Chain A
Amino acid sequence: MKENYRKERIARSIKARSDDIYALTSYREMWYLLFPRFIPIVGIAIVSYFLPLYWKKVAITTCIFAMLAVSWDFLSNCGLLSLGQALFFGIGSYTAGGLNHYLHLPIYVTIPVATVMGGFISTMILLPVVRLRGIYFAMVTLILPLMLMRLVEATKILGGTEGITGLSPFPNVWFEITLILAAMWASLFGLRRFIASDYGLIFVSMRDNDRATMASGINIYAFKAQALFIGSSICAFCGAFMTHSYQFTGMPVFAMEFSILPIAAAAIGGIGTLAGPLVGAMILVPLSEVLREFGTLRIVFYGLILVICVVALPEGIFHYASRKYNEMERWVKIE
């Protein structure tokens, strides 16, 4: 008779016993928990500081996309499927650029103001649509940035097709890297902590079933607007940052790339964990730098990766890795 085996998964130590409270009883356990968090933070910091200048810029771009991806995942965790991170990104970028160019505000004013104002404007634009669910929201967010691009083109406001150049640069590249790294980790761990809090639970509950959230007495529209504000502020920050990093803002900030790459990163990294999309971005962006010589074929690769990942590895790298890390697997015979 054929022998059947099945895979048995055994959770490794501490975390398995409780979803909530647990005590760390040894350095080994502490290390076990710290390792996956500590290593990437230190590793990425060290690597980014010692790279040659060109790759430093790549590292910065990577962080920016990582933040866009984290924000995308946060929104999707709240039941808001965004296909238009470029909208938030572009609005942040133009706000920072406009403030800097027309009002001559310094960089430490423009970036915070653009972050908050960008988030606010984006939320206002999308407010009518938060009442609708799923795909409808997605479609609106997809076309809005493209149309805003045309708006700038047609009205020739804010520099028109040429954009605004000659904006204030960062004082030096060290400052730049430190700022974006800090922002990236802050948004990742901040959001992770946030959605695990009692207040954040409400946001996550909307994805599972927004009717039940409503029947729990929660005004879901107010909460979705808040989620939108948080998510778009993060993107607006990225836009403002990029603007000063390249000392330029213009129509390309609404480009499809800023919408697609974060989603691709999330699809590869694993949707729903916030950390997964970050991992995905860390893989995708440097990879696309390496593939630069292929020109537009590079985007074809993105597309392929997207389709394959979604169909073949729906859980994403992060889920896979964390399962391997947190659980032991073995084959057992089925009697």
Chain B
Amino acid sequence: MLVYGLINSAVLALMALGFNLTFGISGVANFAYGAIYVVSGFLTWALINNLGLPYALSAVLTIVIIGVFGGLIYKFIIRRIRGLVISEVIATFGISIVILEFLRYIGFIGFKYSLPVFINGSVEILGTFVDIQRLFIIGFVIFLIAALYLFTHYTKVGLAFRGIAQEEHTSLSLGINPDRIAGWSMGMGSALGAFAALVILPLGTITVDSGYDVLISALSVCIVGGLGSTFGVIIASFIIGYAQTITATYVSAHWTMIVSLVAILIILAIRPSGLLGHQKELEERV
């Protein structure tokens, strides 16, 4: 159970990281995130089964394509309405609906849609058998977090990311183009979504509805952790992940979503801006 809780937390963290990255940097809440996650799954599946590409190549291609796709969404749609919160939400949500419902319409439903695992088999840890794929998830989360940290602290683009996140106007005057960076953040957020899909989806089948579920999970984790805070996301993933696993073992699997709900309500009642939220109520420049 200890191990499964860890895995569950890692899955949640993976789902939430991409969403959180985009929001933390550009302030755009990408409600199309769940759709992007699902599309990545189907895209890889199609690349493998319809074009007969090898798995590794398809995976890399998917991440790249989805990343570019996210950037293009920003360039052609979001950029025109940036700053109008209502319009941003409506537009990304609209995109999400279009993608997911279209997939549903053309009939991507059924058990045959599943991705291969990286390595088959399982190992025994602390008395429980765990698929190797699940271990991969943990590995990837650690890897991703480390990579993100290095990226935002040591590369030029990454530093620009942080600049925009902190003070858009000042960064502007330092010659950073916030639009370009926001586009990048959207692309990278999407690519992270694709990455999450590739790692997580082999555990089950790809379904359209999981798009909405992923969005909900990502949102809950981000709300509990505090929007835009990577560290908050990680902590929140652990809290919710373990809470879910514990309820699933001792109560019933049906109750897992309720745990998130309760977590959200409690957090909101105590700290409305999330555990490590930057979203302060008043301390904005006036």
Contacts and interface: CB of A to CB of B under 8 A. Distances in A.
Interface of A: 76, 81, 83, 125, 128-129, 131-136, 138-140, 142-144, 146-148, 150-151, 153-155, 211, 256, 260, 263-264, 267, 271, 295-297, 299-300, 302-307, 310-311, 314
A260 B93 contact: yes
A150 B85 contact: no
Given A147-B260, A303-B94, A307-B94, A135 B89 contact: yes
Interface in B1-60: 23, 27, 29, 31
Nearest to A154: B254
B272 A306 contact: no
Interface stretch (B64-72, B138-146, B261-269): B261-269
B207 to A, nearest CB: 14
Interface in B91-110: 91, 93-99, 101-102, 104-105
B169 interface: no
B264 A140 contact: yes
Nearest to B35: A303
Nearest to B76: A311
B167 interface: no
B272 A263 contact: no
Contact of A256 (B87, B104, B212, B258): B212
Contacts of A296: 101, 104-105
17 contacts: A83-B89, A128-B268, A132-B279, A135-B27, A136-B227, A138-B85, A143-B216, A147-B216, A151-B257, A154-B254, A155-B258, A260-B93, A264-B90, A267-B90, A296-B105, A303-B99, A311-B81
Contacts, number: 136
A83 B93 contact: yes
Contact of B94 (A271, A295, A310, A314): A310
Interface of B: 23, 27, 29, 31, 77, 80-81, 84-87, 89-91, 93-99, 101-102, 104-105, 212, 216, 219-220, 222-223, 227, 252, 254-255, 257-258, 260-261, 264-265, 268-269, 272-273, 279, 281-282, 286
A284 to B, nearest CB: 13
A143 B219 contact: yes
The 6 closest A-B pairs by CB, nearest first: A306-B94, A303-B97, A303-B98, A154-B254, A150-B257, A147-B261
A284 B56 CA distance: 45
Nearest to A138: B89
A154 B89 CA distance: 30
Contacts of A260: 93, 97
Nearest to B102: A300
Contacts of B265: 125
Given A150-B258, A302-B97, A143 B220 contact: yes
Contacts of A307: 77, 90-91, 94-95, 98
B96 to A, nearest CB: 7
A135 to B, nearest CB: 5
Contacts of B86: 76, 81, 271
A305 B90 CA distance: 11
A81 B279 CA distance: 16
A140 B91 contact: no
A147 B89 contact: no
A132 B278 CA distance: 11
Contact of B223 (A140, A264, A299): A140
B98 A300 contact: yes
A162 to B, nearest CB: 15
A81 B258 contact: no
A264 B91 CA distance: 10
Contacts of B93: 83, 260, 263, 303, 306
Given A142-B219, A306-B90, 8 more contacts: A128-B269, A128-B272, A129-B268, A133-B279, A135-B227, A140-B264, A147-B260, A211-B286
Contact of A314 (B87, B102, B268): B87
B258 A134 contact: no
Nearest to B253: A154
Contact of B258 (A133, A147, A267): A147
A254 B130 CA distance: 37
A138 B29 contact: yes
Contacts of A151: 257-258, 261
Nearest to A147: B261
Contacts of B272: 128-129, 131-132
